[in-house]
Amino acid sequence: MERAKRSVLLPAALSLSIALSSGPTLLQARPEGVNKPELLPRSYTPVIDVAGFLSEGQEGRIAQEIKEIEELTGFKLRVLAQNYPNTPGLAIREFWKVDDNTIVFVADPSLGNILNFNVGASVDLNVPRSFWSRLAGQYGNVFYWREKGEDASIEAAVAAISSCLREPPGPRACSTIN
């Protein structure tokens, strides 16, 4: 029995040590934090597109949708379109006054899935966590945004978030992605 345990544990330990010694680990592969306030716009906007994915018209429509969401629900949606490392990064926290009612939606194709969300604690109580992963899976996967475009992924995600936040809270809230 003891010999059987060693025959299983030794290869597992060996593969773990090889994984840790060769190349970046998952922790090392994470992008470094960036803080470039010079990339922020001069005046306030809930949509910052440093990557150039959106047209002015699209930015305006998204900003209007965000304004309506905030007025109806009290939740703040903020959209940052970037190509890491070309990003204002941490500077958005103060610029947008990020708090527990804020959803920061980062559209960045360099992260694999273009749709990434940082959700405030109050939002997390009202929107099921599964919603964000389903949303990213539907509109953020590489096949979708390469076929339709980054702008289409962003617009579809904002529309789905808007629809979800307008639903009454409950066990079936945000169960479908529009």
pLDDT at 30: 53
The number of domains in the chain is: 1
Compute the distance between CA of residue 75 and CA of residue 47 in angstroms, rounded to an integer: 15
Supply 67's token pair. 């304004």
d(CA 122, CA 100): 5
Q: What is the mean pLDDT of the segment spanning 84-111?
A: 95
The number of beta carbons lying within 10 Å of the beta carbon of residue 23 is: 9
The mean per-residue pLDDT over the stretch 151-170 comes to 95
Helix (H) or strand (E) holding 28: helix 26-29
Judge whether 177 lies within some domain. Answer: no
Residue 149: per-residue pLDDT: 95
Tell me how far CA of residue 47 lies from CA of 6, 80, 119, in angstroms.
56, 6, 16
pLDDT at 66 over 80: yes
Q: What number is the average pLDDT over the span 143-152?
A: 95
- Residue percentage of the chain with pLDDT more than 70: 83
Mean pLDDT across the chain: 85
The per-residue pLDDT for 153 is: 97
pLDDT in tens, 3-21: 444 443 333 333 333 333 3
Give the other-Cβ count within 10 Å of 61's Cβ.
16
- Of 79, 68, 76, the C-alpha closest to 98 is 76
175 occurs within a structural domain: no
Prediction pTM value: 0.81
Domain region containing 140:
3-166
Which residue from 58, 45, 21 is spatially nearest to 158, judged by alpha carbons?
58
Taking residue 149's Cβ as centre, other Cβ atoms within 10 Å add up to: 13
Q: What is the CATH number of the domain that holds 23?
A: 3.10.310.50
What average pLDDT does the segment 104-123 reach? 93
φ, ψ of residue 116 to 5 degrees: the values are -135, 140
* 178 located within any domain: no
